[in-house]
């Protein structure tokens, strides 16, 4: 059993990503004097609609978002929230999604975006509190008879 003795809690809408084009994928980091976390939250632009995806403890959020994400900071607290264009960096922008999935990994919610070309990006936590890492995989379908 992990740090939570209750089930993952899903909050927000369930986007219909199947056969939709991922236009942009932006990761937002959290930087302070004592901590660096990337991605802290993720924003996906799918067919003109922004989605904000993040976790808070056992809760997974997938929310419609009204505007593109913006970098921001709080200078007096020496905290910043810079952006990174994962869509361009990983060549995912313009790819067609085959759907998404979520579950628990390292005792915290994880989220995968799945693409028709067999690639999958998964966002997960290494500390059980907020996302702090991601991995890009390519899956091949076995054609055994």
Q: For residue range 71-102, what is the model confidence (pLDDT) as tens digits?
A: 999 889 899 999 999 999 999 999 999 999 99
- Asked whether residue 89 is domain-assigned, the answer is yes
- Asked whether residue 145 is domain-assigned, the answer is no
pLDDT in tens, 6-44: 466 778 878 899 999 999 999 999 988 888 889 999 999
Contact between residue 65 and residue 15 where contact means Cβ atoms under 8 Å apart: no
- Asked whether residue 3 is domain-assigned, the answer is no
Residue 51 to residue 61: CA distance in whole angstroms: 10
Parent domain of 77 = 9-138
- Asked whether residue 60 is domain-assigned, the answer is yes
- Asked whether residue 75 is domain-assigned, the answer is yes
What is the pLDDT at residue 8?
Answer: 66
What is the pLDDT at residue 145?
Answer: 63
Number of domains comprising the chain: 1
Tell me the whole-structure pTM to 2 decimals.
Answer: 0.88
Contact between residue 42 and residue 73 where contact means Cβ atoms under 8 Å apart: no
């Amino acid at each position: 059993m992990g740090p939570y003795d209750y089930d993952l809690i899903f909050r927000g809408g369930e986007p219909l990503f199947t056969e939709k084009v991922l236009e942009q994928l932006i990761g937002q980091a959290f930087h302070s004097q004592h901590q660096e976390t990337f991605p802290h939250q993720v924003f996906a632009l799918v067919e003109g609609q922004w989605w904000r995806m993040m976790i808070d403890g056992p809760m997974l959020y997938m929310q419609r978002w009204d505007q593109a994400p913006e970098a921001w900071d709080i200078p007096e607290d020496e905290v910043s929230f810079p952006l990174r264009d994962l869509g361009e960096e990983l060549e995912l922008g313009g790819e067609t999604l085959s759907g998404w999935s979520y579950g628990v990994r390292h005792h915290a919610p994880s989220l995968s975006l799945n693409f028709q070309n067999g690639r999958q990006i998964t966002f997960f936590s290494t500390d059980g509190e907020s996302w702090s890492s991601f991995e890009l995989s390519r899956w091949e379908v076995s054609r055994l008879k």
